[in-house]
Amino acid sequence: MTMFRTRRATIAARFEGEDEARRPRDVSGIVRGAEPFRLTGVNGIAVLLLHGFNDTPQSMRYLASALHGVGYTVDVPRLPGHGGSLAELARDGHADNWRTHVRGAYAELRATHRIVHLCGQSMGGALALLQAHETPDQRALVLLAPYLGMPFGLWWQTYAAAVLQWVTPYQRSRGAEHSIHDPEARAQALGPGIVTAEALAGLRTIAQAAHRALPTLTVPTLYLQSREDNRIAAADAARYFARIGSAVKEQRWLTGCGHIISADYCRDTVFEATRDWFRRFEDGLQDGHGDGVDGSASD
């Protein structure tokens, strides 16, 4: 048993050393460039912007800056376990921590802004949906390639990781190189490309909870999805959208980008669609509830 523990510790140290060399951290232990940030706006309206699983606030920087440029306060938290060391991922990367962190960030914005919009990408989309489900007076919700179910390959990886964690606490995550088509944006990404069994189990928990909440969601919802998404099949995205119970909902299809649409070639379209959806449900405009929009549009 001691031999196995020693071997596991050696493997863990190797993963952690390689990751620290590839993603240098500041004095607080956060990967440089992956820090949480808030941009203070002038219109009294805030946006809580949530990054995805195994990602960092960096992937939301372009969208956050664009929304701030038209007046919004934009808060981009760093989800627990993300954007730090692999040891932090193993310690804090759990579903309950993510839900609690999002609730706290949302409550803080609601205390200081007359309107708070929600927007999330991938697992961040699922978390934004769950937060909107808890706050039915929410004005508007934007989902960017939301992670609302686990394909077979990731289900298998989740179970395999649970078994292999006795040998190694970390496993390499495949496919991230296809999540952003723009090579310059892909080079700036700060995800570790490493997962843990607990974090994968947390992703599954969040996705399943969000999937269950879809039929009873009442918040006006915009759903943006690339047809070339490498993580979520178009057929699955169409099926998830159909389950949304909101009377006001719209699905828009993008092309020429991968899963991380906030940072990829379609980032300007994502910003414009998000801005226009939020403005539609603000003071002085129709509130949208009951206007009967329920459709799918192409970009």
pLDDT at 48: 98
Does residue 294 carry a pLDDT above 70? no
Does residue 296 carry a pLDDT above 60? no
pLDDT at 175: 76
The domain spans of the chain are 2-298
Q: Which numeric CATH code is attached to 2-298?
A: 3.40.50.1820
Write the pLDDT tens digit of every residue in 38-96.
Answer: 999 999 999 999 999 999 999 999 999 999 999 999 999 999 999 999 999 999 999 99
- From 17-26, 142-151, 164-173, 290-299, the region with the lowest mean pLDDT: 290-299
Does residue 298 carry a pLDDT above 60? no
Write the pLDDT tens digit of every residue in 201-231.
Answer: 999 999 999 999 999 999 999 999 999 999 9
Q: Round the average pLDDT of the chain to a whole number and report it.
A: 90
Contact assessment for residue 194 and residue 15, using Cβ atoms and an 8 Å cutoff:
yes
How far apart are the C-alpha atoms of 286 and 281, rounded to whole Å? 6
- Total Cβ atoms within 10 A of residue 265: 17
How far apart are the C-alpha atoms of 290 and 239, rounded to whole Å? 22
Contact assessment for residue 144 and residue 122, using Cβ atoms and an 8 Å cutoff:
yes
CA triple 21-30-26, angle to 5 deg: 70
Structure tokens at 112: 């200081």
How far apart are the C-alpha atoms of 32 and 25, rounded to whole Å? 5
Write the pLDDT tens digit of every residue in 118-133.
Answer: 999 999 999 999 999 9
Contact assessment for residue 179 and residue 231, using Cβ atoms and an 8 Å cutoff:
yes
Structure tokens at 247: 């009377």
Using pLDDT thresholds of 50, 70 and 90, give the confidence band for residue 290: very low
Contact assessment for residue 120 and residue 146, using Cβ atoms and an 8 Å cutoff:
yes
Q: Determine the average pLDDT of the residues in 250-276.
A: 98
Using pLDDT thresholds of 50, 70 and 90, give the confidence band for residue 284: low
How far apart are the C-alpha atoms of 117 and 262, rounded to whole Å? 16
Does residue 291 carry a pLDDT above 70? no
